[in-house]
Amino acid sequence: MDQAARTLALPKCPTGIAGFDAITLGGLPRGRPSLVCGRAGCGKTLFAMTFLVQGATEFGEPGVFMRTWRRTSPPWATTWPR
């Protein structure tokens, strides 16, 4: 079985984003978590919100948006007023 056949055999969840669905041959893998990562400002939040809105409005799917962040300095390294 070639790569294209294996990819098509994997059940997909369409994102509703035409270009992304075309590139990924149907969307994200169905029933599996997908991590979207990248530098600040690259479009991760926009992608996630578009996926959630399209899933709810076009496909009747529920969704969850989880956001995390990282401190740039340790919590004990705060500057206290003098």
Is 64 a domain residue? no
pLDDT the model gives residue 11: 92
Q: Which of 5-9, 31-35, 55-59, 62-66 has the lowest mean pLDDT?
A: 5-9
Residue 77 belongs to some domain of the structure: no
51, part of any domain: yes
- For residue 13, the number of C-alpha atoms closer than 13 Å in the C-beta half-sphere is 17
Q: Residue 22 belongs to what domain range?
A: 3-30+41-59
Rounded Cα distance, 59 and 21, in Å: 14
Query: How many domains does the structure of the chain reveal?
Result: 1
Q: What's the distance, CA 62 to chain centroid?
A: 14
Identify whether 53 is part of a domain.
yes
Whether 82 is covered by a domain: the verdict is no
How far the first Cα of the chain sits from its last, in Å, is: 70
Answer whether residue 10 is part of any domain. yes
- Let me know if residue 69 belongs to a domain: no
